[in-house]
Copies of this chain bind each other. A is one copy, B any other.
Amino acid sequence: MSRSAPLPHVVLVGGGFGGLYAARALGRRPVRVTLLDRRNYHLFQPLLYQVATAALNASDIALPLRSVLRKASNITVLLAEVSRVDLAGRRLVLDRGAIGYDALVLAAGASHSYFGHDEWEILAPGLKTLEDALEIRRRVLLAYEAAEREDDGAEQRALLTFVVIGGGPTGVELAGALGEISRQTIARDFRLIDPTKARIILLEGGPRILTAFPESLSRRAEDALRRIGVEVRTHAIVTRLTADAMWLGGEQIRARTVLWAAGVAAAPLARTLGVPLDPSGRVRVEPDLSIPGHPEAFVIGDMCAFLHQTGTPLPGVAPVAIQQGRAVADNVLRRLGGQPTRPFRYRDKGSMATIGRAAAVAVVGGWKLSGLVAWLTWLFVHIMFLIGFRNRFLVLFEWAWAYVTWHRGARLITGPWKGRA
């Protein structure tokens, strides 16, 4: 145990990409590290939509933090919820008790933003956690089951209408997967309904989907979505939402299943800091990722607002969080060692979004890719990236199997049930 008294204490909040990569970089270094997370696992969020659409198991994309960090004996993992940061007192107030620090790294991520319509959260679940993914899976599969039992034509139509709000990468991935489920996976499973007649609608408020990509790739993505049966609608702003319908201004769409992929807001923990935040609730950090006026406290990942050297804010994606996690570990060690910290610089290796089986768009090193080539690139990057051999192998196997058979292995509806017969 490296708990000898003089070692400085570094506290990391959050075991996502940022926190985990910071922890790894601090393993076996001359610091005592405590990693706090509300969950006992690291989640590979880029594949979360595959859990939501029943292609992968929850445990295929999540690894217990204790296993990942087992060998770093200077790191203690605690399952805890942070209520408040006391920057002046250099301590965190937890759900139970408090914990002091010499250096702090906040990496608590982001959750959904419903743009002031918090009452929509229960009507249109978003996709950030494993529970979100299982809830979305449950709603989608139950909608087909209910449609099979429904006699009323209009109600059956509403049950077979699926709307995804938000045309960013998550919305595109979800809509693409929903299209494939309806057109392929369960196409022959029902006797009384025809799942291939299900209506899948992707709504985007702006002029095109995937606004972070070049316009030509947005168009290719739209084409690919349409080929698998997804209606793409741009300039579409949802003005009202109920349990069985939604409104785009005066137009009503009856739909029983609505999914949210539109807005993101930094973890509410940021608000307890008492420092300036950007409109999404993210902390505006110094070039070295520290909080202005608090050189011993750092914020990384989706929780921080950091301007790219080109002047645009860095997006909330895994590569940014990972690079910041490594950089912050270095800066923590520099600061504790009395050396000057270094400004963070993002090395952009590209971005990609997948649309379905064998279709994706990607920008890699200035190259614009689409179709099968982009999809194979996406597949390769994600598999290589998954942390831990077991996950890598299982995910590969599940995909290969799904590819050959069009089956989705994890097609189980779990969760609370009305009663016991």
Contacts and interface: CB of A to CB of B under 8 A. Distances in A.
Given A66-B186, A70-B189, A59 B417 contact: no
B390 A39 contact: no
Nearest to A112: B420
A184 interface: no
Contact of A57 (B59, B146, B268): B59
Contacts of A186: 66
Contacts of A131: 414-417
A407 B142 CA distance: 34
Interface string A403-418: 0000101111111111
Contact of A76 (B38, B80, B192): B192
Contacts of A41: 411-413
A149 B96 CA distance: 9
Interface string A53-65: 0000111101010
Contacts of A268: 420-421
Contact of A38 (B96, B190, B191, B421): B421
A78 interface: yes
Contacts of A40: 141, 145, 411-413
Contacts of A413: 39-41, 79
B421 A81 contact: yes
Given A57-B58, A62-B412, A131-B414, A267 B421 contact: yes
Nearest to A81: B421
Interface in A46-88: 57-60, 62, 64, 66-67, 70, 73, 76-83
B64 A412 contact: yes
A360 to B, nearest CB: 25
A327 interface: no
Interface in A13-69: 38-41, 57-60, 62, 64, 66-67
Interface string A91-125: 00001110000000000100100000000000000
A269 interface: yes
A41 to B, nearest CB: 5
Contacts of A154: none
A1 interface: yes
Interface residues of A, number: 64
B188 A70 contact: yes
A414 B70 contact: no
A280 to B, nearest CB: 16
Contacts of A394: 394, 397, 409
Contact of A411 (B64, B83, B108, B145): B64
Contacts of A96: 149
A67 to B, nearest CB: 7
A299 to B, nearest CB: 14
A412 B59 contact: yes
A231 interface: no
Of A66, A190, A407, A413, the most chain B CB neighbours within 10 A belong to A66
A241 interface: no
A421 B78 contact: no
Given A41-B413, A76-B192, 10 more contacts: A57-B58, A58-B414, A59-B409, A59-B412, A70-B189, A80-B149, A131-B416, A134-B414, A394-B394, A394-B409
